[in-house]
Amino acid sequence: MKLINKKNKNYTQIFQLFTEEAWEKAKKKHHKNIATLFSGKKYEVFIQTDEDSIIYMIGLGKSTLQNFEIQQVAVKFSQTQKDKLQTAPTLILADFLNEKQFEEFIKGLLLGTYTYPFDRKHAFWNPQFEIHFENLSQKKLDAVLSKAEALANGQTACQEWLNKPANLKKPDILSSYLKNLAKKYDFKYTVFNRKKCEELGLGAYLSVNQGSAYDAAFTIIEYKTSVKNAKTFGLVGKCVLFDTGGISLKDHTNMHYMKSDMGGATAVIGTLIYAAEMKVPVNIIAVLPITDNAISEKAFLPSDVITAYNGKTIEVLNTDAEGRMILADGLSYLAKNYKTDFLIDLATLTGSSVRMFGDTCGAMFSNNEELKNRLIKTGDQTNQRVWNLPLWDIWKDDIQSDVADLKNISMKPIGDCIIAAKFLEQFTENHPKWAHLDIAGVAFGSTGYAKEKAATGYGVQLLADLIENYQ
């Protein structure tokens, strides 16, 4: 796609955007013949043709709509009209849109091209596809396009990896992708295999990996800005490539969904891509503890007591609570070895958070008011919402063990997402600005591009907006 500030005399393809209010006015003046056929409601598309051109009239809904809703409309338009769209100079008529709103529209057009497997065959990825828009300067249009493309590249990479079936995302396949990504974007890339992890004492991570047929890959990716005094974000993404539950085996009914247990990691990967392409003036240290949670004769057992990286001992009472084990070492490794301004982990961590919030928001836990409020605000703006839950010390009583410093589950059938967060807090090494996002309900679910549950891309826009606006 190209964005160009111009307007020719004739177009074979026009996208004309209307809010309900804008349509009310326009229909009386220019469109009496179709006044009752279109109303401007959100997602409505009416195709008008004459000898020379096809006009896609696109409804945005009420003029009070939020910016992310423009993106939603564009996503759906892109998804549903893709077979009809031509690679031809296309005029966009929407003089009431400001720059930010236009940006959301373009982002949506690109994000809506995603299907699995991603092939970029959609007309919008064709360099010959020109969008002509008169209401913003060429400079602004250039900025809009680079931002939209960076986001689309980040979010679709996130979706693609999450959607891959388990046999196509074994640790070595993901590792070679990450290695290439590091080369492409000039990230510093470090990976610890099982032997190295043993030397380092990453015992909580290794307890999960020991049952795997694949070597450990505790991965660290660093993005550095050249801007001085920039903030540093430590990001930890749960990267369980498939979660069988281990010896505490999951029920078979929905087990195939557990290919999505790397949703925290894919959100981080998408954010790294965005940051690199946009040269966002922050530093990012990303830790991705990569493994599967397999059932095998070497797998860890309920009752095992293991020693985590920070020296705390953990009694494993349920091997299906593996996410908190690998995140424990991810968090304390990052906190002990790097100086970061913010420490944020993202994880498809608990069924409890799914039962609580469904696909409406992620469950957030944080020890810092400022970070908490920023995440809530960014979540509201991007529609990748989070809701704050407590980290009160009374919850810590439930993870006290008789044989270790902590146990990995509480025996009570309540509030496991809070329990898990409280568990993770013990591995943040008192980092003053930590947030944990349990995204089990939002990373993988219903989408406009797949019949079954699929990757939503949750987390990329949330983190991209957060780092971009955190000066």
CA distance 432 to 449: 40
User: Of the two residues 203 and 323, which places its CB atom closer to ligand BES in the complex?
Assistant: 323
Q: Which helix (H) or strand (E) holds 292?
A: strand 283-293
User: Of the two residues 69 and 345, which places its CB atom closer to ligand BES in the complex?
Assistant: 345
Q: Which two three-digit tokens encode residue 32?
A: 């009496």
Contact letters for ligand BES, residues 396-425 (x by CB under 6 A):
-------------x------x---------
Q: Helices H, strands E: what count in the chain?
A: 13, 20
Strand partners, 235: 286, 344
Whole-Å CA distances, 212 to 161, 193, 206: 20, 12, 10
> Is 350 one of the binding residues for ligand BES (CB under 6 A)?
yes
User: Of the two residues 246 and 379, which places its CB atom closer to ligand BES in the complex?
Assistant: 246
User: Of the two residues 112 and 246, which places its CB atom closer to ligand BES in the complex?
Assistant: 246
Q: Which of 233, 212, 237 is nearest to 287 (CA)?
A: 237
Using CB under 5 A, count the residues that bind Mg ion.
Answer: 3
- Indicate the residue whose CB is closest to ligand BES: 351
Q: Which two three-digit tokens encode residue 281?
A: 């003036």
DSSP state of 102: H
Q: Which does 416 bind (CB under 5 to 8 A by kind): Zn ion, ligand BES, Mg ion, none?
A: ligand BES
Q: Which helix (H) or strand (E) holds 291?
A: strand 283-293
Helical segments of 279-395, H only: 323-337, 351-357, 369-382
CA distance 262 to 443: 9
State the angle between helix axes of 263-278 and 138-163 in degrees (0 to 180), rounded to the nearest 10: 160
Interface residue with ligand BES among 69, 243, 315, 329 (CB under 6 A) is 243
Contact positions toward Zn ion, by CB under 5 A? 240, 243, 261, 323
User: Of the two residues 261 and 315, which places its CB atom closer to ligand BES in the complex?
Assistant: 261
User: Of the two residues 58 and 417, which places its CB atom closer to Mg ion in the complex?
Assistant: 417
> Is 320 one of the binding residues for Mg ion (CB under 5 A)?
yes
Whole-Å CA distances, 395 to 357, 462, 469: 20, 28, 33
Interface residue with Mg ion among 69, 103, 222, 243 (CB under 5 A) is 243
Stretch that binds ligand BES, among 22-30, 39-47, 56-64, 351-359 (CB under 6 A): 351-359
Using CB under 6 A, count the residues that bind ligand BES.
Answer: 17
Annotated active-site positions, please?
250, 324
Stretch that binds ligand BES, among 170-178, 187-195, 350-358, 372-380 (CB under 6 A): 350-358
Q: Which two three-digit tokens encode residue 1?
A: 């796609």
> Is 247 one of the binding residues for ligand BES (CB under 6 A)?
no
Residues 290-329 that bind ligand BES (CB under 6 A): 318, 320-323
Using CB under 6 A, list all residues that contact ligand BES: 243, 245, 261, 318, 320-323, 348-352, 354, 409, 416, 440
Using CB under 5 A, list all residues that contact Mg ion: 243, 320, 322
